[in-house]
Structure 1
Amino acid sequence: MTVPVFQEYEPAADCGCAGCALQRRTAAARSLPPRLGGHPAAHGARRALVLATAAGVVLSAGAAEAVAPAGHATGPVRADGTAGPGPAAPQGQAGPLMGGAPGPPTGTAADEPLALRTTTRAEIISRAKTWVAAKVPYDMEKYWSDGYRQDCSGYVSMAWGLRGNEWTGSLSSYGTRIARAQLEPGDILLFHNPADPNKGSHVTIFGGWTNSAHTQYMAYEQTPPAARKKTTPLAYWSNSDRYQAYRYKGLTGGSGGASSAGYPGAAAFGPGARNAHVTRLGHMLVARGGKRFYARGPGPSWSEADRRATRAFQRAQGWRGANADGLPGPDTWRRLVDGTGKDIPAAGAGGRPRAVPPFPGRAYFKPGQSNAHVERLGRQLVKKGYGRHYVSGPGRRWTEADRRNVEAFQRAQGWRGGVADGYPGPDTWRRLFS
């Protein structure tokens, strides 16, 4: 009798990178009927066992060895397919970047040194913004053009500049545990459920506090349907008490405390200055949209390019006069290091705040009304990221979807009660269009 031989089965493909191989293995496992070990939920399948016999090659029973995926926070999914208060999809396992040279092993043991790339808070937030701007779709099996997996932990791996795609069970190896009160932009809030990673596990990037009580923060996260930036209750919509704060071990510049304490002083900048702080300033300004000011650069010698780029960043914050003189003070430095504040607008935008259209009056926004102001309001809500309640539109007729989207925007400002009733007033209008 011929003895069965079990061997690794790799579907043929053009690309041999680890990411593509993982996708091919997953597809192979999914293509099998359940009686042969396949299943639609066989994410992260590592291998298929092939039974070689004298009569030919057939798949044995139990051929797919499925690996339980790491989880992603569970939560309701609306009828229109958009995410509810909490995300509701799993996320993939640790692995090298897709399409690139294999990096060092991921998920290393605690006593093994990790090969960390150094980065700054500004660079972390800048990278996080790229996926939000591109509206990268959530998908635990797909990889974005930068090689990172399109799920919550792949997003953090990208923002932190890790050499591979990590998951919620390994990201803590790359960070230092901190208290929530110490959170600064670029840190993360991580919940990994070791008992059942499918239930609740998720990670977000801390983008800064959005209220003085420090009960809400701006979260950058990868969640269905796409990467988003959203005001979020500390620590998250669900399992809030189980999230832990971590700071990337490779962080440079203000990584141990208040980032503004790293301000080197006014004497470090201006005509005649030559030092590493000038170089760092230039790199941070480039990351915030100031690349066009540098013909070469940035370098250690203070130049007119540094002054112009700094002035453009200051004016982007709405500052004028002596507060926008092109010389970085503590507030300018803090926003650059933390990755907070507004980026330098693109060339041609002038760097000036856009004029807010006059508020037409409350009478235009109530049941039964149909006018151009309602449609204009709706389009601005969508532009700002508050259009999830629209099934179609927005349009000229006031609907409950308009009211709910306005309410979501108002609540994101920290308003409650009667000031967050979903009907726009002058303050809502000004903030929405500014």
Structure 2
Amino acid sequence: MPAPVFQEFDPATTCECPGCVHWRRVSPSPLPGRFGGHPAARGVLVVAAAASAALAAGAPGAAAHSTPPAPHRSAAPADPEPQTPQGARSPLHGPHGKPVKGPVTTPPITRTQIINRAKTWVTAKVPYSMSLYWTDGYRQDCSGYVSMAWGLTGNEWTGSLDQFGTKITKEELQPGDILLFHNPDDPEKGSHVVIFGGWTDYTHTSYTVYEQTPPHARSQPTPYAYWSNSSKYVPYRYKGLIADPATPGAQAARTAVAFPGAAYFGPGAHNKYVTLLGQLLIARGAHYPKGPGPDWGPADQRATQAFQQAQGWTGAAADGLPGPRTWELLATGRGRNIESATAVPSAPASHGVPGYPGKNLFRPGAANDYVARLGRRLVEKGYGRFYPNGPHAAWGEADRRAVEAFQRAQGWRGGAADGYPGPETWRRLFL
């Protein structure tokens, strides 16, 4: 087979950006082709011929799945590989988070929920990082992104994600499944994972991808299985997947188990029926931050109440504790689903201020969704300079300083501007 024809471009030698300076120092030869665009990365070898032959030689049958490069990528024959390594397994919110112990768990989730969660990072253009953590607690690299979309209880990596899925074939792929490439010989070279969003053509040679890759999370048409190392990507389906209520096969989200009795639910309850209740509620649109379990908690009560309110019930009929009628609707798949607006009811009013959860949730060592929500609101109000890496769920000095600056902007001094949000601080922030 004749060798491909290459054309060589010399890198710029005058640019003083960190990338150019680094590569001029360490590499007299042109940079690899996976870099592109900036003069510092223009020392590329562009394949000008025999592209299909190269694909065929690298992976049997790969040529059958090749497609022309996307129009906005016409300068390169393939999309660049991930340019940075990924982080290792870690708890939510990083080193300061609470490690997940015990066996692998697969919280239940629907395909719709997976894709909707994936879209949140794309919409927010979450920047890529192998060490930083987004406000939801997940690491901002490819495996952290999949951990977030699947709703896992911690941050996994490409070497562990297969434990949460089952191998499937290309023909079985559906939205919410993943394509995983883990390079065991050198995990930091080429390893990557993406979320399958659906085929873009009837030939099944291109699909919509959801992925976290430099510079930020994105979604775009992508040739199957990926731009590079195509033959090494393996399709997986999440083990905790449950059916969407509105799709055929939603019976999987129902149960023939009879109502066990009110004594099995409420504070202090610990049993399999609490877990089953959570799974049924998730299938109807409820949200669980860490997935349902056998221990009854506030998330169970909020989700149950949201379902009861979706039926139009009020007062004692929507107290968040499942009775025979609530169980019957959930078990049979009847009744109204939870709308997104009511999926996570706001916290009850504290000190007469709706949504204020209490000052004890904003203290050193605290880590919760209210801290993250407070940080995002402060950024929106113009106090983002205190968050060099963005707000997080773990309370820190950046939060205290941002709150103090906001309080001083209200004209408060002394103890009224101590950097800890009270009811009036919360009310003014969320007016």
Band the TM-score falls in, shorter-chain normalisation: 0.3 to 0.5
What's the TM-score once normalised by structure 2's chain length? 0.43
Higher strand share: 1
